Amino acid sequence: MPDVDIQRATGADAKALTAVYRSAYRENRELGFPATAGSVTPPTVADWIRECRIYAARTGGEIVGGVRLELTENDRAKLSRFGVHEDCKGEGIGSELLDHAEKQAHERGYVVIWLTTPKNHPYLPGFYRRRGYEKTGDYPLENREYDEIIMEKQLR
């Protein structure tokens, strides 16, 4: 596994993170699970950086992954916009990003982290289950041809 440096993203990272999200979400679109992150623009990513906590993963100084942490309720944080550049998938970078986001949420006093993921995706629900997430509900999507599920993990 490459050395991974994860830091909170800044506005200067918006363009590189845009490229990561477009690459990371290309596979989902090809699998029939299109998401807006697959066609995101640098100004939108810059907005996310200002409004939420976005963490960027770097290897060799290049941004290769990102994750958004939204602090939504008193004790619950939402994980979203989680992606690794297609050239770096399978190298453990996603696991490092997920660990980092969970640690950040825990350090801020959150007891639950939650996310949504396509219900019938061939590997994402299983990835999250192996990481300790459990399905807690359905998340129907009116504007897409697929539905998602809600998965949660208790932070200790």
Q: For residue range 80-128, what is the model confidence (pLDDT) as tens digits?
A: 999 999 999 989 999 999 999 999 999 999 999 999 999 999 999 999 9
Query: CA 4, CA 75: separation in Å to the nearest integer?
Result: 29
**For the segment 118-154, what is each residue's pLDDT rounded down to a tens digit?**
999 999 999 999 999 999 998 887 777 788 899 999 9
Structure-token pair, residue 94: 């996603």
Alpha-carbon torsion, ordered 151, 9, 46, 64, to 10 deg: -70
Report the greatest alpha carbon distance in the chain: 41
CATH for the stretch 5-154:
3.40.630.30
Domain positions in the chain are 5-154
Q: Strand 148-154 and strand 134-139: pairing?
A: antiparallel
Distance CA 11, CA 95 (A): 24
* Whole-number average pLDDT of the chain: 92
Strands (E), the chain: 5-8, 53-59, 62-71, 76-84, 112-118, 134-139, 148-154
